[in-house]
Amino acid sequence: MGYLRRVKIAVLGAGSWGTTVASLVAPRHETVLWARDPEVATAITSEHVNPTYLPGFTLPGELVATSDLTGAVCEADLVVVGVPTSGFRHVVEQASKCMRPWIPVVSLSKGLERGSHLRMTEVIRQVAPGHPVAALTGPNIAHEIMSGKAAAAVIATEDLEVAGAIQKVFTRGVFRVYVNDDVVGCEMGGALKNVIAIAAGIGEGLGVGDNTRAAVMSRGLAELTRLGMVMGAQPTTFAGLAGMGDLIATCMSPHSRNRAVGEQLGKGRRLDDILSEMHMVAEGVKTASVALELAERHGLDLPICSVIDRVVKSEIEPSAAYWGLTPAGHEADPG
């Protein structure tokens, strides 16, 4: 793949981020975007819009979409998977039956699989063995990238030769891509920041001050760093784009789904009502419990994740819980 100037790319998942990534690469590479909904696929191909997930944006004319998963991946040189974690394994399983041997598979999904506790690249390795795997992560708000604003991302894989080839495919204009061989750290940062973003959103909904939200974000970064490190991540990763960078963007952006869920919870709305109005998945809602299971396995205490898990399970009210997100314990500040 590294020697090809143009590659055939299949992007699986026509949500906001999958569509954005497909739009980035389509002008330079033959790209097909798989959408589960045939109507979404038709709108992307015929009208160059995705009104369900990216309303108001015109997509590149070169981008085509299909609801045929087999047709999307059978001739691809690179497969990019951007479906929610709940359906990730099934989609990769189905796609793997048609993928050519040894082509790289890149995950866009930020979360952990319930039950197995696996990261998404680990899921790919299980169901599609023999394929190089990578994760594209970082502070990437789809609406801003589609608007042409500068952004940076990380391609994480242990094979730096593969990383360099994928880096060239995704880098375009003011969208800059860096490489990192700490796959564990990059994926854990991307998954756990969604939980912290719900906490930050609750603060916004409750009207707490910037000092309080900054404390929650800082302590949240410490939590995800602790858990990531015991799983084998490098601590420096969490100070970079895939850690602090992604955390800041997800906690602060009004386009962040997880922050939006937290904000509505802070305003007193029921979680079921909030989620029923959303077209896309807020991964942090389910990631909180998976993170706690991992923390228990490793003997760690994650106070913020614990509180958010209890909030989304309706065990405690957000207004009563928020002041417990920054406990005054004996723990020293790592900064």
Which residues are identified as catalytic?
A: 193
How far apart (Å, rounded) are the C-alpha atoms in residues 132 and 1?
A: 11
For the chain, the first-to-last Cα distance in angstroms comes to: 42
Tokens representing 170?
């995704």
How far apart (Å, rounded) are the C-alpha atoms in residues 154 and 164?
A: 11
How far apart (Å, rounded) are the C-alpha atoms in residues 302 and 188?
A: 14
Place of tokens 């850690």: 243
Q: Which long-range contacts (CB under 8 A, 24 or more apart) does 87-94 make?
A: 88/113, 88/120, 88/123, 89/113, 89/123, 89/126, 89/127, 91/12, 91/13, 92/123, 92/124, 92/127, 92/128, 93/127, 93/128, 94/69, 94/70
How far apart (Å, rounded) are the C-alpha atoms in residues 138 and 118?
A: 19
For 102, other C-beta atoms within 10 Å of its C-beta total: 9
Tokens representing 56?
């108001």
